[in-house]
Structure 1
Amino acid sequence: MSGIYIHIPFCKQACHYCDFHFSTSMKKKDEMVLALAKEIVMRKKEFEKEVVETIYFGGGTPSVLTTDEINFLINTIYENYKIVENPEITLEANPDDLSSERILALSKSPINRLSIGIQSFFEEDLKMMNRAHNSAEAIKCLEEATQYFDNISLDLIYGIPGLTDEMWQQNIETALSFGIPHISSYALTVEPKTALKKLIDTGKIAEPQDEVASNHFMILVETLQKNDFIHYELSNFGKEGYFSKNNSAYWLGKKYIGIGPSAHSYDGEKRGWNIANNSLYLKSIQGDILPIETEILSKSDRYNEYIMTGLRTIWGVSLERIEKEFGFDYLNYLQKQMQKFLDDELVFIENNILKPTSKGKFLTDGIASDLFYLNLEE
């Protein structure tokens, strides 16, 4: 099974923390939709032997597209690829785009999963992050969406300067009050060249504190587990039967095609990425040229990716797979490197699977980097 990701490179306004590729100008939106459809057709040979299980509209803000435009792209995929009987088709959406009429229209489309960018239910947080919606819109869209969609995920951000433990707990409880079956939650990070970085550097906003983020993370994990959520990936929590099939496929190393500017692709041996420039992307596609660069992954690259994704998920890192797929030298290296984390009770081994402990989960990325194989001959 494989997936198709479609990057919609438009947003109404720029969130202060975001470093994804997008444009706030909608002038080329119509052109872009046609180009996305054309790229879908141009790349169908890559998936001749594959069956598509997931279609994911990400961005940017995919909900700036009309429902007709979304249906047009989905129909183009159906016309050119083999699709499972009931694929997971996800649309990332912002609350300000989810009016009652829009939710109803989407419910009649092939979209069967919404991923809603709430981030916070507090007005001051939304203003600080420069979100396009307000708290009232966040509440209203969830009241409406839950009437028409069973499979809904929402995003929450923790570690926001000024967000107390009590406020963070209230954010989580508000989300739970709608019966949402999936929550994705991320620490506020300061990326270079973002408005947030500039605001922090000029002293207009306090810098996020790791200790606060760590505490918020533990509150999140504890609260959601009490409410029957499974912490199946570092930043993702789902009830039984509601894990994101799209994201799980990434973490389990399945193949996917990325359509649109800046979108990434993976076929098991090489990784590709489209040019992150709307005008150059359009010019290339209109000239029948795929604007993609690729790299063949070395054994060390594939090992490191498996370590990173495996440690972040409930599936962990299989020591048996390490030896079978990468060889004894890699297994021996991993066993030596992980010993200090075993001693510090940050990881444990169960049924020959390496996993982080509760204490180690927030430190997963740092642990993984220490387990990476950096200087091996290929």
Structure 2
Amino acid sequence: MAGIYLHIPYCKQRCTYCDFHFSTNLNSKNEMLQAIIKEIELRKNEISSPIETIYFGGGTPSILEPKDLDLIINQLDKYHNLSQLKEVTLEANPDDLTKEKLNYFASTPINRFSIGVQSFFEEDLRLMNRAHNAHEAENCIKLAQDFGFNNLTIDLIYGSNTTTDVMWAQNLKKAVDLGINHISSYALTVEEKTILNRKIESGELNPIDDQHQSDQFDYLVSFLEANGFIQYEISNFGKPGYFSQHNSNYWKGIPYIGIGPSAHSFFGVQRGWNIANNAKYINALKKGILPIEIENLSLKDQYNEMMMIGLRTIFGIDTNSIKDRFGSKIYTHFRKEVEQLHHENLVEEIDSKIILTKKAKFFADGITSRLFYVD
């Protein structure tokens, strides 16, 4: 089974921490939709197997009107086999989930929302420059549930200087009390070329406290585990039956295609990425040209990709496949590094699978890099 990701590159306003590809100018929206429609047509033969998952990301796909989403969904149905579709996720801002839109969504294949709540506290939302307020954050969840949408995930951000430990605990408790079955939670990260970074560099805001973030991550893990959630990926927690099927397929190395500007694709031994420029993306597709770069993955690249993805999940890294797939040289390197990490109590081996220990999860990226193979 395969998946399709669609990148909708528009937002109402710029969040202070965001470095994703998007625009707050919607003047090109209709041209963009036609370009996306064209890309779906041009890439119709890249995946022949039935589509299992579709994910509308961004940007803010909930900014689209019903006619816009109908256009995309109908085009996907025209060129792909959707008969075995299991999960269609739409990323949404709380202020977009109105009764009118939810009534429309209920008539579409969309059966899962990823809601960008980030926090239930006004001071956090103001710091992040979110488009919604705390009341909308809570109310949209209840509204979606009233319309029969129970497969909901919310994003929550921890480690901000505005988020006290008490506030963080209350954020998580509210999410659980609202009956949320999946939570994606990320540390507030300071990326270059963001408003947040400029404010910290200018002294307007204090730098992020690493220990503060680490403490809140530890509380996140323990609280959600105590409330029936499984940490199946470093930043993703789901109750049984509510793991993200689309993202899980990413982490298992299942092929997918990415449609829209800046969208990425993966084909096992190749990866590709579309140009991250709205005007150039639109102009290329007007000419019938796919604005995509393709990279052939060497054995070393494939191994490093497996390390990067596998160690972040409960699925782990299958040691039995390393030697057969990548050869003795890479396997020897892998075993040597794993033994050292095991000695430091950073990984453990269960049923021939390498997984991170509990204490290592906050530092996953650094630990993973130690397993990378470099010529």
**Shift of the alpha carbon at 1:328?**
1.9
Q: Aligned residue for 2:285? A: 285
Q: Aligned residue for 1:25? A: 25
**Shift of the alpha carbon at 1:90?**
0.5
Q: Aligned residue for 1:213? A: 213
Q: Is 2:200 the counterpart of 1:224?
A: no
TM alignment of 1:205-284, pairs within 5 A: 205-284=205-284
Q: Is 2:107 the counterpart of 1:132?
A: no
Amino acid at match of 2:221: V
Q: CA RMSD in A?
A: 0.9
Question: Would the aligned equivalents of 2:51 and 2:84 in 1 still touch at CA under 8 Å?
Answer: no
Question: Would the aligned equivalents of 1:146 and 1:178 in 2 still touch at CA under 8 Å?
Answer: no
Q: Aligned residue for 1:145? A: 144
Secondary structure of 1:153's partner? strand
How far apart in 1 are the matches of 2:268 and 2:225?
33
Secondary structure of 1:110's partner? coil
Amino acid at match of 1:89: V
Question: Would the aligned equivalents of 1:120 and 1:171 in 2 still touch at CA under 8 Å?
Answer: yes
How far apart in 2 are the matches of 1:243 and 1:68?
30
How far apart in 2 are the matches of 1:143 and 1:230?
23
Question: Would the aligned equivalents of 1:342 and 1:348 in 2 still touch at CA under 8 Å?
Answer: yes
Secondary structure of 1:212's partner? helix
Secondary structure of 2:46's partner? helix
Question: Would the aligned equivalents of 2:123 and 2:162 in 1 still touch at CA under 8 Å?
Answer: no
Aligned residues: 374
How far apart in 1 are the matches of 2:160 and 2:57?
24
Question: Would the aligned equivalents of 1:71 and 1:110 in 2 still touch at CA under 8 Å?
Answer: no
Question: Would the aligned equivalents of 1:159 and 1:187 in 2 still touch at CA under 8 Å?
Answer: yes
Q: Aligned residue for 1:312? A: 312
**Shift of the alpha carbon at 1:219?**
0.6
**Shift of the alpha carbon at 1:227?**
1.0
Q: Aligned residue for 1:2? A: 2
How far apart in 2 are the matches of 1:270 and 1:347?
29
Percentage of matched positions with identical amino acids: 51
Question: Would the aligned equivalents of 2:50 and 2:83 in 1 still touch at CA under 8 Å?
Answer: yes
Unaligned runs of 5+ in 1: none
**Shift of the alpha carbon at 1:111?**
0.6
How far apart in 1 are the matches of 2:203 and 2:83?
52
Question: Would the aligned equivalents of 2:50 and 2:84 in 1 still touch at CA under 8 Å?
Answer: no
Q: Aligned residue for 1:55? A: 54
Q: 1:250-298 CA distances to partner (integer Å, 9 max, x unpaired)?
A: 1100111100000011111111111111011100001100001111011
Amino acid at match of 1:82: N
TM alignment of 1:1-378, pairs within 5 A: 1-47=1-47, 49-148=48-147, 149-375=149-375
**Shift of the alpha carbon at 1:196?**
0.6
Question: Would the aligned equivalents of 1:88 and 1:245 in 2 still touch at CA under 8 Å?
Answer: yes
**Shift of the alpha carbon at 1:324?**
1.7
How far apart in 2 are the matches of 1:147 and 1:330?
53
Secondary structure of 2:282's partner? helix
Secondary structure of 1:35's partner? helix
How far apart in 2 are the matches of 1:179 and 1:57?
23
How far apart in 1 are the matches of 2:374 and 2:233?
25
How far apart in 1 are the matches of 2:15 and 2:135?
18
Secondary structure of 1:82's partner? coil
Q: 1:278-332 CA distances to partner (integer Å, 9 max, x unpaired)?
A: 0111000011000011110111111011011111000101110111211222121
**Shift of the alpha carbon at 1:368?**
0.4
Secondary structure of 1:335's partner? helix
Secondary structure of 2:115's partner? strand
How far apart in 1 are the matches of 2:88 and 2:34?
20
**Shift of the alpha carbon at 1:370?**
0.8
Amino acid at match of 1:334: F
How far apart in 2 are the matches of 1:56 and 1:86?
11
Secondary structure of 1:334's partner? helix
Secondary structure of 2:86's partner? strand
Q: 1:126-169 CA distances to partner (integer Å, 9 max, x unpaired)?
A: 00011111111111111101222011000000111131111101
How far apart in 2 are the matches of 1:70 and 1:110?
11
Secondary structure of 2:273's partner? strand
Q: TM-score, normalised by structure 1?
A: 0.97
Question: Would the aligned equivalents of 1:67 and 1:109 in 2 still touch at CA under 8 Å?
Answer: no
**Shift of the alpha carbon at 1:101?**
1.6
Q: TM-score, normalised by structure 2?
A: 0.98
Amino acid at match of 2:32: M
How far apart in 2 are the matches of 1:344 and 1:164?
31
**Shift of the alpha carbon at 1:42?**
0.7
How far apart in 2 are the matches of 1:92 and 1:68?
17
**Shift of the alpha carbon at 1:116?**
0.2
**Shift of the alpha carbon at 1:339?**
2.3
After TM superposition, the runs of 4+ consecutive aligned structure 1 residues lying more than 4 A away are: none
How far apart in 1 are the matches of 2:67 and 2:234?
35
